[in-house]
Chains A and B, each alone.
Chain A
């Protein structure tokens, strides 16, 4: 089976060494997904695979036979941005913009995790409803580094969307 990226099927790469990240950036020409470290340390390469956020640099493309991948390009376009994409612009949730696609992919899936009541270190209890508080968002977004230091604005952008959508966001 091929791999599906933003609803388009692609053949898997022939070179088994190709990471999912390099596959997206080179083979699929989807450069919205960024490489910040190639070692799972920064979150710039975050994409959504079968509904879950992952660091695409840590995964080989050939292991994604049949998987469905959503990248930043699949979440919205300049003409039709997603709610989170709009909120990041409005709240200045970025500066250089390099970590931003990863932040937005991560936040999109994270809001779904919140909606599914998946607890985190910042949650008051392991079960029961989880509110999208600033602390929850900070904790859950700590895998996405932003060297420009836009964190406060990132939290503001995500909080706004979390409130609008009651936590469920506009997850892919």
Chain B
């Protein structure tokens, strides 16, 4: 089915089973908690060799020689692979083609250049460490490394009216420069692959988010046909963007397995994951906001500079939600990309909004402060009727409800705010808030649903579950539509032998593949109705039975009944602006002597369409809020300004939040159906939780201590430096 108009009536609402949306525990839960769920590197394959990647210790230049003989003489070493089909960068999300290959041409420090293969991991690791390479490196002063100095390209530009004039005429205005540091996905499972070649088919167990795209990326990299490749990713230990595209270890393992005619496992070290997968670009942003005397926006300016390697199309889409979130007749939105030789910049959870929204929401807080309008009220005042430039209507939008319900649950005190109102010993205590917004993405997807004579159903798609709850929610959708208890539905994911789903990324998995399952079930219901001699509306299925007590299995004539659902988005996205919205409220304490910030409590209210499983959806929201804490306080990639290499390339130096950094997180899921978003009226929730949350913490730091920190993360040194003397 192709969606060209809003799905106002959704069959899911008329069903009788009553499992959809329920807070069911994950269907794969016991496998995960008992350690029996196999991740990519964990398949027991006989005769498997171990490969370790070798990376470039220089920034730009050419590899001129590799001393293979010395390496091959080492214990257990089987091969040194430096095939020019090996990939030098990971593929960007949905690339659908090979990323940059020819690893001999080095474009960034830490780029993979060769693979050492040995009988055991210990042997391969040792040999990789001792591999001697010769190279011609370009002079460092010829290589652009600083985004502020490098050549830039314009990536996006929207202008309307006269912002400079609006700033001049404004009753209240803000003009601020805000920077955000680069981020790493740092999924807990390092990138890994086991490749097996049987002479005609290449089977690869890998840790990937989007098999439907990854298979063509791998095929293109190897110059093979897709038909001869099978990719399997049943369990993925976190992705957050880092596993959207095929990465270097998967291609290297495949090349090695084919060349050596033995299975080869390649697992990246944590340092390699940091240095040769994706970084979120650092950003430098300028925010200009102008209002009249009532606090209504008359001008809205958001400009950003981001960076990437030459040749990469991806540019951190910082302005994505600024495009439509708030009013302001006079507008400037501009995104520029600096070309520098640091590791590839790409998608890290919530690309764009993760850093654009915090900057915008700090500026909004400054505007609230400046104009004396309550921060919640300022946002409510500036929710536009229609898209501020194009005039397109919004689909369902619960921003106002989120702001109000969040404020109420948190106990937000409206009214004039003055920093440093509360002190507890050496700690200042304050509160802050911010809006959340994240564009709605959706994609084509297929899934097969089969009713079995034993009274069960099976859902099959190559869609992945990266911790998002896909196994559970797809089963819930099928169970609801087919009138089966959830445990009667088996869900098989992560195998390219199944119909192709959307993959997990951009928060689009649940709505895309969920819709494909819905379409498949609609087809099955049609057949069942015909066989039972009742119209589809009257087909009331519950616990495997029709309303008259007939068992569904009686309608199967002893065989399987199978339907492939195919969902295509159509052109509905031209007609509506669709997005998920929310609001965050945070209370922090800031140490007046050290500048340390502790988040004491946080509330998030989110509207993201139909909730498919209350438990897993809540967890997604919480996960996003934890990332908000990381982006606010600790997470920053640090690159050596001399050669562009990533300095803090492990989990001891790159600080993700730990358990004690995270307080109780209150999540409010605002009831919503969005008929324009998807046939099942759902939007995504994997990213919304971190699209502005860092600003609630920044604004709370200001309210607590008077420190208006304009650089994320707000480390103690920065908070101290921004703290007024008295």
Chain A residues with a Cβ under 8 A of chain B: 15, 17-18, 22, 25-26, 29-39, 41-42, 44, 71-73, 75-78, 81, 85-86, 88-90, 92, 94-101, 104, 122, 134-135, 137-139, 141-155
Q: Which has the most chain A C-beta neighbours within 10 Å: B32, B42, B468, B622?
A: B32
Q: Which residues of A contact B240 (CB under 8 A)?
A: 147
Of all chain B residues, the one with the shortest Cβ separation from A99 is B188
Q: Which residues of B contact A22 (CB under 8 A)?
A: 121-122
Q: Which has the most chain B C-beta neighbours within 10 Å: A30, A34, A72, A92?
A: A92
A94 touches B33 (CB 8 A): yes
CB distance from A52 to the nearest CB of B (A): 19
Can you report 21 residue pairs joining A to B where beta carbons are below 8 Å apart?
Answer: A17-B126, A30-B35, A33-B35, A34-B39, A35-B267, A38-B269, A39-B651, A42-B188, A42-B270, A92-B26, A94-B29, A94-B33, A94-B467, A95-B616, A96-B189, A96-B466, A101-B35, A137-B659, A145-B188, A147-B187, A152-B664
State A76–B32 Cα separation when bound (angstroms): 12
B34 touches A96 (CB 8 A): no
State A14–B238 Cα separation when bound (angstroms): 34
A81 touches B660 (CB 8 A): no
B120 touches A15 (CB 8 A): yes
Q: How many residues of B contact A (CB 8 A)?
A: 63
A92 touches B615 (CB 8 A): yes
Q: Which residues of A contact B619 (CB under 8 A)?
A: 92, 95, 148, 150, 153
B42 touches A152 (CB 8 A): no
State A131–B701 Cα separation when bound (angstroms): 31
A138 touches B121 (CB 8 A): no
Given contacts A36-B189, A92-B25, 6 further A-B contacts (CB under 8 A): A17-B122, A31-B41, A42-B188, A139-B660, A146-B188, A153-B619
State A96–B665 Cα separation when bound (angstroms): 19
Q: Which residues of B contact A139 (CB under 8 A)?
A: 659-660
B29 touches A89 (CB 8 A): yes
* Majority SS at the chain A contact face: loop
Top 10 A-B residue pairs of the complex, sorted by shortest distance between their CB atoms? A32-B35, A149-B626, A98-B237, A96-B467, A97-B32, A95-B467, A149-B623, A72-B35, A89-B29, A31-B42
CB distance from B295 to the nearest CB of A (A): 34
Q: Which residues of A contact B35 (CB under 8 A)?
A: 30-33, 71-73, 101
State A37–B126 Cα separation when bound (angstroms): 17
State A22–B125 Cα separation when bound (angstroms): 13
CB distance from A17 to the nearest CB of B (A): 4
Of all chain A residues, the one with the shortest Cβ separation from B626 is A149
* Residues 182 to 223 of chain B near chain A (Cβ within 8 Å): 185-190
State A99–B188 Cα separation when bound (angstroms): 7
Q: Which residues of B contact A37 (CB under 8 A)?
A: 270, 650-651
Q: Which residues of A contact B44 (CB under 8 A)?
A: 29
B623 touches A150 (CB 8 A): yes
Q: Which residues of A contact B624 (CB under 8 A)?
A: 149
Of all chain B residues, the one with the shortest Cβ separation from A102 is B188
Q: Which residues of B contact A81 (CB under 8 A)?
A: 30, 33-34
